[in-house]
Amino acid sequence: MKSEYELSIKDYIAILKDRAWLLGIVMVVVLAATVGVAISVPPIYQSTGTILVESQQISPDLVSAGNNTFADERIEVIRQRVMTRENLLRIIDKYRLFADRGSFSESDKIEQMRSAIAVATLSTYVKGRGEATVAFTVSYEDKHADVAKEVADELVSLFLNENMKQRTERATETTEFLTQEANKLGAELASLENQLADFKQAHANALPENQQLRMSMLSRSELEFREVDRDYKAAQEELRYLELELSAANSGAATAPANGRPAAADPQDLPSLKAEYARLLTRYTEAHPDVVAIKRKIDVLQASGEKGIAAAAAGNLDAARVRTKMAAAQSRIASLAEQKRQLTSKMEAYEADILEAPQVERGLVTLMRDHDNARKKYEEIRNKEMGAKITESLEQENKAERFVLLEPPLLPEKPVKPNRKKIVALGLVLAPAAGGGLVMLLEMLNQRVRGVGALESVLGRRVLVAVPYIQTKADKARRKRLVSLLIGAALLLVAILLVVVHMFYMPLDLLLFKAMARFE
Separation between Cα atoms, residue 297 and residue 274, nearest integer Å? 10
pLDDT in tens, 409-423: 999 888 888 777 788
Nearest to 359 by CA among 207, 485, 235, 509: 207
Nearest to 64 by CA among 56, 73, 72: 56
pLDDT in tens, 92-140: 888 888 877 767 888 888 898 899 999 988 876 555 454 455 788 999 9
pLDDT in tens, 46-99: 999 999 887 665 544 444 444 445 667 888 888 888 888 999 999 988 888 887
Q: Which long-range contacts (CB under 8 A, 24 or more apart) does 194-203 make?
A: 195/367, 196/364, 196/367, 196/368, 196/371, 199/363, 199/364, 199/367, 200/364, 203/356, 203/360, 203/363, 203/364
Nearest to 73 by CA among 81, 64, 61, 65: 81
**In contact, 18 and 474? CB cutoff 8 Å:** no
**CA distances in angstroms from 208 to 52, 221, 361, 441, listed in the order given:** 63, 20, 6, 105
The mean pLDDT of 174-195, rounded to a whole number, is: 85
Q: pLDDT value at position 254?
A: 47
The more confidently predicted of residues 293 and 491 is: 491
**In contact, 353 and 231? CB cutoff 8 Å:** no
The mean pLDDT of 429-436, rounded to a whole number, is: 84
The mean pLDDT of 29-35, rounded to a whole number, is: 81
Separation between Cα atoms, residue 314 and residue 320, nearest integer Å? 10
Report domain 45-183+398-407's class: alpha beta
Show me where the domains of the chain are located.
Answer: 9-41+418-519, 45-183+398-407, 206-396
Helix 20-40 to helix 473-500 angle (10° resolution) is 20
Mean pLDDT is lowest, of 184-188, 217-221, 387-391, 394-398, for 394-398
Q: Which residues contact 28 (CB under 8 A, 6 or more apart)?
A: 431, 489, 492, 493
3-state secondary structure of 400: coil
Separation between Cα atoms, residue 294 and residue 284, nearest integer Å? 12
Q: What percent of the chain has pLDDT over 70?
A: 74
Separation between Cα atoms, residue 43 and residue 11, nearest integer Å? 47
**CA distances in angstroms from 312 to 248, 293, 302, listed in the order given:** 13, 29, 15
The mean pLDDT of 26-35, rounded to a whole number, is: 81
Question: For residue 460, is pLDDT > 90?
Answer: no
The more confidently predicted of residues 445 and 135 is: 135
Nearest to 261 by CA among 301, 310, 315: 301
Q: pLDDT value at position 261?
A: 41
Radius of gyration of the chain (CA): 69
The mean pLDDT of 462-482, rounded to a whole number, is: 75
**In contact, 302 and 270? CB cutoff 8 Å:** yes
Question: For residue 264, is pLDDT > 50?
Answer: no
Q: pLDDT value at position 181?
A: 86
Q: Which residues contact 158 (CB under 8 A, 6 or more apart)?
A: 82, 87
**In contact, 147 and 136? CB cutoff 8 Å:** no
